Amino acid sequence: MTNKPSPAASSSKSPQDSKQPTAVVIGSGFGGLAAAIRLSARGYKVTVLERLHGPGGRALVEERDGHIFDLGPTIITAPYLFEELWALCGKTLSDDVNLVPMDPFYQIRFDDGRVFNYTGDIDQMRSEVAKFNPADVDGFNRYLKVSETIYKTAFEDLSAVPFDSLWFTLKCAPEMIKLDGHRTVFGKVSDYFSDPSLRTVFSFHPLLIGGNPLTTTAYYCLIAHLERLHGVHFSMGGTGSLVKGMVGLIEGQGGEIRYDSEVSGILSSEGKATGVRLASSEELAADLVISNADSAWTYHHLMDGKPANRWSPAKIDRTSYSMGLFVWYFGTKTKFEDVYHHVMLLGPRYEGLLKDIFTNKKLTEDFSLYVHRPSATDPSLAPEGGDTFYVLSPVPNLDSGMNWEDEGERYRAAIQKRLEDTIMPGLGDALSTSFFFTPKDFETRLLSMKGAGFGMEPKLFQSAWFRPHNRSEEMENLFLVGAGTHPGAGVPGVLSSAKILDEIAPDPSVFQR
């Protein structure tokens, strides 16, 4: 193993050129960007290395034919986590980014045409519940309390602390057991709602972070309270404006982001991370290495020939991964005014469909879709008179053995037909631009194990201590942030993973030369 920078490294601009302690961040997803901001604010000189042509990871922006597409996250909650990053740099989030609250948060449309408007207003929610089943209003009132209690412990107290000590985990266990973490979201929700449609409305949230509501730990009931407490927001100009703002913060603090720069290995000496090797063979020395790459990929492919101990290839293979995503991005020449900004367009089945996606790993003919129409809130994201959309379908990850090259276009056309038959009549004639990503693209573009949309599945025994730790036990000075580590996927989760670095990454003075 090479531990000294190669001649290529010394001829390139290396963070080691300065006396300032240095950190290299692998990947510019929200977790990586937040880590870079936090480390810069503490005095590290940070270099972010990103294999794609631009920043954001899953939140990369693509412009096609005048339509601006956010490729990934669209629902922004817990804005205080962004505000903290701006404050660390002596700035104010609202000077750079305009977050507007969504009301309702989502429109949930059932196969029979009934619509549930999911809002943050409790009285309005009671009316919506009553519309479906008046007898469940009481259960809704009680469920609010349950979600709040879980939120307070599982998110407020424990999402931004490192779960890398078994002792700490055991200490938290009694409190966590009281929260029914051994139950599932669907099971817990079913205690409070008897109506099958309402069970769907209140249990679908884990899908937003790659979990199966039928198996995901009931801790994720917290999302309902998180959204109500902090709101659901849209970032004007698209989620990309948050990414752009974060890049500005990093550069403003003297950090650097290099694109088209794939890391092929993490260098180490005497059990300590010492830098990275790029696919171009260039080596970059650093005092700290932070991996925002998929945690499974990091331990499987980036250990520079040294198999990880805790996360051995066999264990990584045994681990279960979140579902895959089929995302169809398209623009239209005309406007579809009746389509709300966030629509959950449900199919005829719920539990059966979830079992097919997560357990049977079978691509089915029916689907439940999330339809995103950002130009409903910000018309500047589409050319004059048109609309910009994406539609997302949860599908099995690559364990399905599906050949997406053959299947992709057929599946896209089936989604188009479903939209034409329901909320978007005439869509085919209105299309102006179109492209799609399959789980295969998540594997090849984002280096996501098994093409999973959200990294490792958020199950009880793949959460907290059982998930890859933020402080790697494989090498000193190697840290992990992002969806595949604690606390998990979703923008609030990955921003929290970066916050944990403040506690576990050494003070830069340790490396002062």
User: Which residue ranges make up the site for ligand FAD (CB under 6 A)?
Assistant: 26-32, 49-52, 57-59, 72-75, 208, 262-263, 292-293, 325, 327, 392, 446-447, 453-454, 482-483, 489-491, 494
The span from the CA of 291 to the CA of 280, in Å, is: 18
CB 496 within 8 A of CB 470: no
Pick between residue 45 and residue 58 the one whose CB is nearest to ligand FAD. Answer: 58
CB 399 within 8 A of CB 321: yes
Pick between residue 363 and residue 392 the one whose CB is nearest to ligand FAD. Answer: 392
Tokens of 207: 């899908």
Q: How many CA atoms lie within 13 A of 226 on its CB side?
A: 26
Please return the burial class of 124, using the count of CB atoms within 10 Å of its CB with bins 0-12, 13-18 and 19+: middle
Q: Which residue is nearest to ligand FAD (CB)?
A: 29
In the complex, least distance from residue 410 CB atom to ligand FAD, rounded to whole angstroms: 20
Tokens of 267: 């260098």
In the complex, least distance from residue 102 CB atom to ligand FAD, rounded to whole angstroms: 11
Pick between residue 5 and residue 57 the one whose CB is nearest to ligand FAD. Answer: 57
Pick between residue 58 and residue 109 the one whose CB is nearest to ligand FAD. Answer: 58
Q: How far is CA 31 from CA 15, 98, 290, 346, in A?
A: 21, 21, 10, 31
β-bridge pairing 478-480 and 431-437: unpaired
Tokens of 10: 């010394």
Closest CA to 435 of 396, 388, 381: 388
In the complex, least distance from residue 59 CB atom to ligand FAD, rounded to whole angstroms: 5
In the complex, least distance from residue 480 CB atom to ligand FAD, rounded to whole angstroms: 10
Pick between residue 23 and residue 129 the one whose CB is nearest to ligand FAD. Answer: 23
CB 476 within 8 A of CB 175: no
In the complex, least distance from residue 52 CB atom to ligand FAD, rounded to whole angstroms: 5
**Most distant CA atoms of the chain, gap in Å:** 73
The number of residues in the chain equals 513
The span from the CA of 13 to the CA of 11, in Å, is: 7
Q: Letter for the amino acid at 281?
A: S
In the complex, least distance from residue 223 CB atom to ligand FAD, rounded to whole angstroms: 10
In the complex, least distance from residue 321 CB atom to ligand FAD, rounded to whole angstroms: 13
The span from the CA of 300 to the CA of 317, in Å, is: 9
Pick between residue 108 and residue 129 the one whose CB is nearest to ligand FAD. Answer: 108
Pick between residue 259 and residue 461 the one whose CB is nearest to ligand FAD. Answer: 259
In the complex, least distance from residue 124 CB atom to ligand FAD, rounded to whole angstroms: 22
Tokens of 250: 């990093």
Pick between residue 46 and residue 59 the one whose CB is nearest to ligand FAD. Answer: 59
